[in-house]
Amino acid sequence: MKMQDKNALPIGFAAPAPIDRWDQTRADPALLAKAYADPRARRLVLDGLDPLLDGGRLVREPMPAGADPAAHILLGRESDGVPLFAELRRDIPHGATYAPRVWEAATELEPGELALYGGTRSLVDWHARHGFCAVCGGATVVAKGGWARACTACAAEHFPRVDPVVIMLAEYEGRVLVARQPRFPPRRYSALAGFVEPGETIEGAVARELFEEAGIRVRDVRYVMSQPWPFPSSLMIACTARAEDDRLTVDHTELEDAFWVDAAGVRAALDGEEDAPFVAPPSMAVARWLLVHWLDGMATRP
Amino acid sequence: MKMQDKNALPIGFAAPAPIDRWDQTRADPALLAKAYADPRARRLVLDGLDPLLDGGRLVREPMPAGADPAAHILLGRESDGVPLFAELRRDIPHGATYAPRVWEAATELEPGELALYGGTRSLVDWHARHGFCAVCGGATVVAKGGWARACTACAAEHFPRVDPVVIMLAEYEGRVLVARQPRFPPRRYSALAGFVEPGETIEGAVARELFEEAGIRVRDVRYVMSQPWPFPSSLMIACTARAEDDRLTVDHTELEDAFWVDAAGVRAALDGEEDAPFVAPPSMAVARWLLVHWLDGMATRP
């Protein structure tokens, strides 16, 4: 099947960011000081957690004279060798959801720039919400060039979170399961998803979530792809699985509705046809790519 | 190739725990109260973070009369329908590393019991280190049956961490890369590994870590399997990748040594032969299973 341009890779936020993360510099105070003192050093300019765009790129500015190193994170080194920072502020709202401007940016930014924005957003948000030590309640300060915070009272170190989330398509006899949450736009359906819990494998989390939310038992869980999702800081792990049967028991505390859809219905949704059985997730979402992946597999099956 | 018994699945901590996580009960105060009040309710008995064994199972005891619900987590419902809890204590050391007793337990516990222990350990450890709110420094209390903590001052909710880690074997022309950290037992080598950072895909993290630690560029990153690793709360994501060439630039701040080893060398290490080129990771570690997986693939290649 020939997909439209909007179905061309890469997945939103998943391209390689155009930056060397320069990890040895973070942990070395002398190298870090040198990076801060570099007269060419730049920082990304955000509006709270939202991006500011200059064509297909994020806005950068020279590091202001007298900028406080303890209020910045070293994102890395750009392709021209210049250190790139982001300012860490406490006066920004939590970024568990995104503003319409992020949606627009996702279509306008070059893929690498979008990825750079996503990672930066997660880090800036994490710092804003971690001014205190979870162990003792003491104040924390920026450490390791912004890749950690250290407690001023008990010396505990804290590291930015990345929360693994499984997102999956269950298949049963040529149909896949799509579902909608009450907060979705009208007619939008997507793949089911949920956080991986302590003590679980990826495969175990996929099976548990599908049983909890849709009442189906699955086998043959297969990894397909991954995507960072910076609202606030998830790692989306996209999988497929085979359902043992197609009887659904929908958990209505989580889902508004769920149904099985065949290849023709998925194709119509991805093509944006008016009479499609549902509205597909946007290209920024890995759920769309799971549907594309599944349809590609269906087309090549013997 | 026929592997020895010690190479038989499942991977340590990765079996399904013999418990229904019963997630709807966590979030429903009435159901939760009913579970606490169940006269059959049990709790796991730990020694700090270490396991206590009764044959191949973890020790359980009846919930003591007058036990404080706010000092327990509801692990779920056992196969006989009885609610199972674990006590949440603040007076335990952080579990970033494991005691020899855990090592012994990993060989003596039934796979499902080991998985149950691993998840419980991560949760108990997380609660012990999260008595305060990272947002405002206020005191936090147990919420959602132990699956969250809530701040008494600002009402922020906090959830247990699961930290995704990539662990990977790079291959180049029939050899794989193994490496050792200074803290490893003598002659032990393993796969390279590192935390997934905000803004990264799994595949991006594999490529970054291999370049940072060994100086190699890779392509064709493939997911193999996953494993929860409760020291303190990682999700190990095991992958393979193909190196562009075999020139190594080892980061000696991270690694003591690294080398390429062929199939015969890997086989000798897995078989525990005295003249093997290295000592393989134990069966509790997913790194061992990556080596087994790679060797199996080599044996079946045309």
Which segments of A72-173 does DSSP mark as H helices, in order?
100-108, 111-128
Is the pLDDT confidence value at A119 over 60?
yes
Taking an 8 Å cut-off on Cβ atoms, the answer to whether B199 and A123 are in contact is: yes
Task: Check pLDDT > 90 for residue B164.
Answer: yes
Q: Read off the pLDDT of residues A190-218 as tens digits, 9 standing for 90 and up.
A: 999 999 999 999 999 999 999 999 999 99
- CA-nearest residue to B254 within chain A is A24
Both tokens assigned to B284: 């509790």
Q: What is the mean pLDDT of residues A87-110?
A: 89
Distance from CA of A243 to the nearest CA of B (A): 18
| Lowest model confidence (mean pLDDT) among A99-103, A137-141, B197-201 | A99-103
B281 or B8, which is more confident?
B281
Alpha helices (runs of H) in B215-285, residue ranges in sequence order: 263-270
Judge whether residue B290 has pLDDT over 50. Answer: yes
| Torsion A63-A64-A66-A67 (CA) sign | negative
Mutate to test the interface with A, among B23, B109, B227 (most CBs of A within 10 A): B23
Answer yes or no: do A132 and B130 touch at CB < 8 A.
no
Mean pLDDT of all residues in A218-245: 97
Tell me the shortest Cα–Cα distance from A118 to chain B, in angstroms: 6
Q: Helix (H, G, I), strand (E, B), or coil: what is residue A126?
A: helix
Residue A84's closest CA among A117, A130, A49, A50? Answer: A117
Half-sphere exposure (Cβ direction) of A136: Cα atoms closer than 13 Å: 12
Show Cβ contacts of residue A255 under 8 Å, excluding neighbours closer than 6 positions.
A179, A180, A181, A192, A213, A214
pLDDT at residue number B97: 85
- AA identity, residue B253: T
Residue A118 with chain B: CB contacts under 8 Å: 198-199
pLDDT beyond 70 at B7: no
Beta carbons of A134 and B131 less than 8 Å apart: yes
What confidence category does residue A241 fall into, taking pLDDT thresholds of 50, 70 and 90? very high
Residue A199: name the closest of B1, B233, B46 by CA: B233
**pLDDT at residue B3, as a whole number:** 43
- Taking an 8 Å cut-off on Cβ atoms, the answer to whether B135 and A134 are in contact is no
Q: What pLDDT is attached to residue B8?
A: 56
Kind and range of the H or E element at A24?
A: helix A23-26
Shortest distance, CA A274 to any CA of chain B (angstroms): 34
Of all residues in chain A, the one with the smallest CA distance to B129 is: A135
For residue A6, pLDDT over 90 is answered with no
- A76 part of contact set with chain B, CB < 8 Å: no
Helix (H/G/I), strand (E/B), else coil: A167: strand
SS3 state at B84: strand
For the stretch B54-69, pLDDT in tens is 989 999 999 999 899 9
A196 touches chain B (CB under 8 A): yes
Check: complex ipTM more than 0.90: yes
Q: CB distance from B27 to chain A under 8 Å?
A: yes
Please, which contacts does B245-251 make with residues 24 or more away whose CB atoms are closer than 8 Å?
Answer: B245/B172, B245/B216, B245/B217, B246/B172, B246/B173, B246/B175, B246/B216, B247/B215, B247/B216, B248/B177, B248/B214, B248/B215, B248/B216, B249/B214, B249/B215, B250/B179, B250/B213, B250/B214, B250/B215, B251/A24, B251/B212, B251/B213, B251/B214, B251/B215
B122 and A228 in contact by Cβ < 8 A? Answer: no
Check if B160 contacts A (Cβ < 8 Å): yes
Amino acid letter for position A301: R
**B9 and chain A: CB distance < 8 Å anywhere?**
no
Question: Which 8-state DSSP code applies to residue A192?
Answer: E
What architecture does CATH give domain A7-158? Answer: Alpha-Beta Complex (3.90)
Q: pLDDT grade, residue A143 (50/70/90)?
A: very high
B5 pLDDT band, cuts 50/70/90, is very low
Q: What pLDDT does A87 receive?
A: 97
Q: Which residues of A touch B139 (CB under 8 A)?
A: 137
State residue A100's pLDDT score.
86
Taking CB atoms and an 8 Å limit, are B235 and A118 in contact across chains? no
DSSP state of A52: -
Answer yes or no: do A129 and B134 touch at CB < 8 A.
yes
Domain B162-300: what homologous superfamily?
A: Nucleoside Triphosphate Pyrophosphohydrolase (3.90.79.10)
Percent residues over pLDDT 70 in chain B: 97
Q: How far apart are the first and last CA of chain A?
A: 14
The rounded percent of chain A whose pLDDT value lies above 90 is 85
Give the residue from chain B lying closest to A116, CA to CA: B199
The model's confidence at residue A99, banded by pLDDT at 50, 70 and 90, is confident
B137, two tokens: 């420094």
As a whole number of angstroms, the distance between CA B199 and CA A116 comes to 7
> Looking at the predicted structure, is the pLDDT value of residue A185 above 70?
yes
Q: What is the pLDDT of residue B119?
A: 97
Does the beta carbon of B163 lie under 8 angstroms from any beta carbon of chain A? yes
If you measure CA to CA, which chain A residue comes closest to B141?
A134
Q: Is the pLDDT of residue B1 over 70?
A: no
How many Cβ contacts (< 8 angstroms) between chains A and B? 164
CB within 8 Å: B130 and A130: no
CB contact under 8 A, A223 and B228: no
| Stretch B98-117: mean pLDDT | 92
- Listed in sequence order, the DSSP H helices in chain B are 23-26, 29-37, 100-108, 111-128, 202-214, 263-270, 286-300
* B116, B198, B251: residue with CB nearest A123: B198
Say whether A267 sits in a helix, a strand or coil: helix
**Rounded distance between C-alpha atoms, residue B177 and residue B216, angstroms:** 10
pLDDT more than 70, % of chain A: 97
User: Which structure tokens are listed for A201?
Assistant: 């494998």
B293 contacts chain A (CB < 8 A)? no
CA of B16 vs chain A CAs: smallest distance (Å): 7
CATH 3.90.79.10, chain B: domain bounds: 162-300
Band (pLDDT 50/70/90 cuts) for residue A271 is very high
A54 token code pair: 């200059």
Which residues on chain A are in Cβ contact (under 8 Å) with B236? Answer: none
Per-residue model confidence (pLDDT) at position A93: 87
Contact call for A230 and B199, based on CB within 8 A: yes
DSSP-assigned states of every residue in B166-209: EEEEEEETTEEEEEE-TTSPTTB-B-EEEEPPTT--HHHHHHHH
B272 CB-near residues (< 8 Å, 6+ apart) = B279, B280
Q: Considering Cα of B281, then A195, then B126, then A160, what sign does the dihedral take?
A: positive
Q: Closest-CA residue in chain B for A154?
A: B129
Which chain B residue is nearest to residue A20, measuring alpha carbons? B208
Task: Report pLDDT for B302.
Answer: 63
Using alpha carbons, list the distances in angstroms from residue B200 to A13, A21, A114. Answer: 8, 11, 12
pLDDT tens column, B233-289: 999 999 999 999 999 999 999 999 999 999 999 999 999 999 999 999 998 999 999
Q: A3 vs A240, which has greater pLDDT?
A: A240
Report the gap between the CA of A192 and the closest CA in chain B (Å): 16
Q: How many other C-beta atoms are found inside a 10 Å radius of the C-beta of residue A270?
A: 21
Q: Does A203 touch chain B (CB under 8 A)?
A: yes
The arithmetic mean of pLDDT across residues B191-208, rounded, is 97
